[in-house]
Structure 1
Amino acid sequence: MAGQDRMTIVEVVRQVLRDEHADVIRESVKAVAQELMEAEVSELIGAQRGERTEDRATHRNGYRPRRWDTRAGEIELQIPKIRQGSYFPSFLQPRKRSEQALVAVVQQAYVCGVSTRRVDQLVESLGLRISKSEVSRIAGLLDEQVQAFRQRPLEGRYPYLFVDAKIEKVRDGGRVQRKAVVVAHAVHETGRREIIGLDIGAAETEAFWTEFLRSLVARGLLGVQLAISDAHEGLKNALAKVLGAPWQRCTVHFLRDLRGHAHREQHDALGALIRSIFTAPDGTEARKRLADAVSQLEPRLGKVARLLEQAEDDVLAFYSCPKEHWPKIRSTNPLERFNREIGRRTDVVGIFPDDASVIRLVSMLAIEANDEWLVGRSYISQKSMTPLFQSQDQTTITTNNQEEVEELLAA
């Protein structure tokens, strides 16, 4: 029995899966319900879909739509039809609590990980006679959605790449460990933003970051002209090794680090001085302001002055990009907002049972975010993105022409 200071799974589900998650839960319930109907019809006619057998009682005969109002919202079911007799899903029978059980099991799977045992309990509550293998297949449906999202090919070019990590508590090997959930957020050449990858690792090592970035490249990531992240040495080295693109140190994190070396009463003045560098009208003026800031800080905040001077190239890299893009590419703020959204959900769960459950929750949030960005306004106007690729395209044309000339001469 849960103590007064502990939440039951139902309470966790209700708190994590509020209205923001209605679409995810609805689609998951729909997918599981469809598989349950297919399994039930296969049991009724004595054959799986597409299976040839002499013992079958009848054949399938298409589908008919039916609206189903659930706690997760309205669902459009496709109920299988059969040529002889009739079929009606058992979980739609009057006075059955099956719909509640179906929604509950999907919610639990969403928060705590897909469990064959939980789905098996659901099947039993529905009064279905389905094999253990069928139960396992149905349980895997939710993970298939996540897997498809994480392995989808990346098409087109992504000039701006934001990378960050968030620490979560996960049970592993009988102990609770702090693991890094890493997320890659990018701006497509069309100007829309997109979460292109996520993973979880034991620590933010260079080897882990290298493997993660290589997985993005293997899926089609190309055209990166600026990588934006915090000043994690392993990540910085991995970005240089895998992508070879210029690196922009997050200006928000940088200012936060500088404040850590100053007294609290100095924070406001230091912030105003540093922010003036990042709002300069051009790169030349920014470097002049940075030099002036170093001179002003040297007498009283010598360490801050040295850190600022050493970071000059890293914090001003964004000035080489189109001016319209500067406010949106000088920090990891877009990804920070997404991380806060993750935290709002994961704080309720507290400790995750395994890595897969973390991936599942973050992936579902990422799918929702991508859907919203796809139909919303572009993060950066597509017109302003054109200059980023003009020099690249010209170089490609010149190289191709040179190759054609060399081929003609060789002939």
Structure 2
Amino acid sequence: MEIISEAAMAAMRMPRFEDGCINLQELIRQLAESVVNEIMDAEADQMCAAQKNTRNGYRERKLKTCVGTLTLKVPKLRSGSFFPEDVIERYQRVDRALVAAVAEMYATGTSTRKVQKIAEKLGVDRLSKDQVSAIAQSLDADVDELLSRDLSAIRMPYLWLDATYVKCRRDGRVASTAVVTAIGSDEEGWRRVLGISVVDTESYDSWKGFLATIRKRGVHGAELVVSDAHEGLKRAIAEEFQGAAWQRCVVHLTRDCVREAKTWQLKRRVAKIVAPVFRAKDAGVVRCAYHLACEMLEECCPKAAAIMEEAEVDALAYLDFPCSHWKRLRTNNVEERTNREIKRRSRVVQVFPSVRSLERLAGAVMCEEDELWSDKRYFAESKIAELYDEKRAKQKPQPPTPEQEEELRLIAKKAIEASLELADELEAA
């Protein structure tokens, strides 16, 4: 009520038409926006008081209503999250993206029966051309805003890069099309979507152009880039992020080793030898376990051993960073989870009628992910600060003595043998 009283007293600031008459619709829109934002502020303050938490700024969301578009300022918290689900839906963008993709299938002549089946899965009975146009324009604006925002204000020490493949019609034929994405963690520990693009193939030129676009938008301060071992991607990373270390995803490395085994029994053994190597929390144990795994693989699968030996420097690059970061740096899981979301949504459409429709859906998924990440840090504030600790940077690891190395090797051997014994017990059961 206080907001309404203040608005009545500020008549000179009321929205008016050119002829001087008050624009009642705009006035109602402003009042509704103010009331909803005040309610969210009050609820966030109550939550902070109950949980001994603090506020951490806002993130904006648009909400279309019968009186116009409201700009909602959703409060952010230092820890945990606050979201007014009774005011706005979390996943509106993706649903609208699927609707727009299905509508475009109609426009490009896909069989009516197939489109109707897909529309039924979405709960869509009927769409007008005006509705399709409005949905598409709204989604395109959100995606364009995400992919054009300036990234130069803060350092981005960690980057994850990957691609996933979706069927899309290109030049009159259906082809497997790569959706390449980049995710970063800034110096305050927040994850951010850095870029997304749809390319015909995952080549050096494609990755080079994609990474160059990200650099132009201000990404700087990269210290480690995590990805799989695609040769074109490795080359593009080396050229665009000179001075940054490259971490080969250990999950992909394990898969590469398992692929060299010919029987399922040998595949299981190779996996159980390699997997424990990266679970250790001591750098010395990890290195000893890695060398021991190479020796054990040499006896049962020489090709897998050759892959491990060649990949040692890149697979263990994460050991040069704070121990509390290792779990998130040694794999590309953050990208894998995002790719699964793109796949899950795209599975409904099956074959995208155009590159633009695929860009729209993938971009909407990334918009959603970026918003969800704004609720929770990927690295705690105290943990990310370890990366920039000058004392840690000056400390150089000392090589272990022969006695220490023997002790570390014994620990590593026990870990690998325990993994193999557990696998044997599970198989016997």
So what's the TM-score if we normalise by structure 1? 0.66
The equivalent of 2:348 in structure 1 is 348
Cα 1:63–1:320 change in 2 (3 A) is same
Q: Distance in 2 between matches of 1:79 and 1:368?
A: 23
How far did residue 358 of structure 1 move?
1.1
Q: Distance in 2 between matches of 1:107 and 1:295?
A: 50
- For residues 123-202 of structure 1, what are the structure 2 equivalents within 5 Å? 140-154=137-151, 155-202=153-200
**Post-superposition CA distance 1:239-297 (Å, at most 9, x none):** 00100211111100110111111121123332222122212333333222222222222
Q: Is the 8 A contact 2:16 2:22 kept in 1?
A: no
Aligned residue type for 2:99:
Q
SS in 2 for 1:248: strand
Q: Distance in 1 between matches of 2:279 and 2:134?
A: 55
- For residues 376-387 of structure 1, what are the structure 2 equivalents within 5 Å? 376=376, 378-387=377-386
- For residues 281-360 of structure 1, what are the structure 2 equivalents within 5 Å? 281-360=281-360
Q: What are the ranges of 5 or more consecutive residues in structure 2 without an aligned counterpart?
A: 1-14, 33-62, 70-94, 109-125, 395-429
Q: Distance in 1 between matches of 2:191 and 2:203?
A: 27
How far did residue 77 of structure 1 move?
3.5
Q: Distance in 2 between matches of 1:212 and 1:203?
A: 12
**Post-superposition CA distance 1:91-148 (Å, at most 9, x none):** xxxxxxxxxxxxx99863255559999997438xxxxxxxxxxx97886343122111
The equivalent of 1:78 in structure 2 is 67
Q: Is the 8 A contact 1:230 1:253 kept in 2?
A: yes
Q: Distance in 2 between matches of 1:147 and 1:229?
A: 25
Cα 1:63–1:180 change in 2 (3 A) is same
**Count of residue correspondences:** 303
Q: Distance in 2 between matches of 1:190 and 1:366?
A: 20
Which aligned runs of 4 or more in structure 1 are off by greater than 4 angstroms?
49-52, 56-61, 104-107, 110-120, 135-139
Cα 1:149–1:385 change in 2 (3 A) is same
Q: Is the 8 A contact 2:165 2:176 kept in 1?
A: yes
SS in 1 for 2:299: coil
SS in 2 for 1:177: strand
Is 1:122 aligned to residue 120 of structure 2?
no
- For residues 4-19 of structure 1, what are the structure 2 equivalents within 5 Å? none
**Post-superposition CA distance 1:13-38 (Å, at most 9, x none):** xxxxxxxxxxxxxxxxxxxxxxxxxx
How far did residue 383 of structure 1 move?
1.1
The equivalent of 1:230 in structure 2 is 228
Q: Out of 84, 96, 100, which is 1:109 matched to?
A: 100
How far did residue 223 of structure 1 move?
1.2
Is 1:267 aligned to residue 267 of structure 2?
yes
Structure with bigger RCO (C-alpha 8 Å, 6+ apart): 2
Give the percent of matched residue pairs that are identical in Structure 1 and Structure 2: 32
Aligned residue type for 2:359:
I
So what's the TM-score if we normalise by structure 2? 0.63
Q: Is the 8 A contact 1:195 1:370 kept in 2?
A: yes
The equivalent of 2:80 in structure 1 is none
Q: Distance in 2 between matches of 1:138 and 1:169?
A: 23
Q: Distance in 2 between matches of 1:171 and 1:146?
A: 21
SS in 2 for 1:195: strand
The equivalent of 1:218 in structure 2 is 216
Cα 1:197–1:106 change in 2 (3 A) is closer
**CA RMSD across the alignment:** 3.5
